[in-house]
Amino acid sequence: MTRVTVANLIGRSTAFQDMVRLIQRIAQTDAPVLIEGETGTGKEVAARAIHYAGARRDRPFVPVNCGAIPENLIENELFGHVRGAYTDARDPQLGLIALANGGTLFLDEVETLCPKGQVALLRFLQDLNYRPLGSRREESADVRIIAATNINLSELVHAKQFRMDLYYRLQILFLRMPPLRERTGDAALLAEHFARAFSARYGGPSARFTPDSVALLDGYAWPGNVRELENLVHRAFLLAGGDVISIPGDWMAGEPRAASAGGQYEGFPLDLAFSEAKARLIDQFERVYIAHVLSQTNGNVSQAARRCGKERRAFGKLLKKHGIDKRLFLSQ
């Protein structure tokens, strides 16, 4: 992923357009930003749009996944070190903050930042000064911090699992990414965009979706959001074998929706016999839950099984039972 501008953002829904207008306003400032949104909603895309729409557009955009940094290396990763700072430190190394100087440091999954890392980041945000490991001299850096999380960070603050003072430093500006289910009509629009991109990537013909497929795309709740949609279109494009893309209904994990006044709940009447209604509801729940967990783990079945407290083999049986393809949730 490289340069992303506001003009590259795709969507016509009211929720999406409201978000784009907020991104444009945020981009004209230089304060820290906290982006919250479910997995697959495009938090890094939004962060890049903020960066490239602002005054720092010609300076570095440096992304880092906080969950991938071991606690014992966090200060070294952020601040770098001088030669001889520790055993085997034969050469000096710039940290992420120095690499992002003049530009933007994007901290993805900031909720996974260890306590030591939270303290180090807070100290830097207070005056934008830091000291590389092993150095006696303090350095300064002109860096904008954009942090992202897929959970409600304030809940971690109340649970005393994230520093309150750092939370308030990060969320001077706040952006919520709307899930795809709230973006009415955008799923089909995005699907067409992804189909064109895959056509260019693979050199195939320009493909169109069948009307039934368009209706399916617009009616689905997308627990894995834009990432799930992109992966599904990728699969459908590769299997199309022509210029028409058809998406089978059984590819969808199916997320239940609220009961309506007409006595319907995700397509079945509530006046069924109790046992039959219960069985259908349990089936719906299993499909939604499995899809949600897979979207959280990017299609990693072992991690998904651990997350929901099941043996991997038992979890695999559930996938087979509901015909859910883990590849729909794999990151590109």
Residues near 18 by beta carbon (within 8 Å), at least 6 away in sequence: none
Full residue range of the structural domain in which residue 231 is found? 184-329
Q: Are residues 94 and 191 in the same domain?
A: no
Q: Are residues 202 and 217 in the same domain?
A: yes
Q: State the CATH number of the domain containing residue 146.
A: 3.40.50.300
Q: Are residues 166 and 197 in the same domain?
A: no
Which two three-digit tokens encode residue 223?
């627990």
Q: Are residues 294 and 260 in the same domain?
A: yes
Is 202 a member of any domain?
A: yes
Burial of 204 (0-12, 13-18, 19+ CB in 10 A): middle
Q: Phi/psi at 154 (nearest 5 deg)?
A: -65, -30
Cα–Cα dist 189/192, whole Å: 5
Q: Are residues 54 and 151 in the same domain?
A: yes
pLDDT in single tens digits along all 332 residues of the chain: 557 778 789 999 999 999 999 999 999 999 999 999 999 999 999 999 999 999 999 999 999 999 888 888 888 889 887 775 566 667 778 889 999 999 999 999 999 999 999 999 999 999 999 888 777 888 899 999 999 999 999 999 998 999 999 999 999 999 999 999 899 889 999 999 999 999 888 887 778 888 888 888 888 889 889 999 999 999 988 888 778 888 887 777 554 343 333 344 444 445 557 776 677 677 767 777 787 787 778 788 888 888 888 888 888 888 888 767 676 666 54
Q: ∠ at Cα 250 (245, 253), nearest 5°? A: 110
> For position 269, what pLDDT does the model report?
45
Is 33 a member of any domain?
A: yes
Q: Are residues 110 and 197 in the same domain?
A: no
Taking all residues of the chain, what is their mean pLDDT, rounded to a whole number?
84
Task: Report the domain count for the chain.
Answer: 2
> For position 85, what pLDDT does the model report?
56
> For position 285, what pLDDT does the model report?
74
> For position 328, what pLDDT does the model report?
60
Beta bridge partners of 94: 80
Residue located via tokens 């998904």: 304
Q: What is the pTM of this model?
A: 0.73
Is the separation of the CB atoms in 315 and 309 below 8 Å? Answer: no
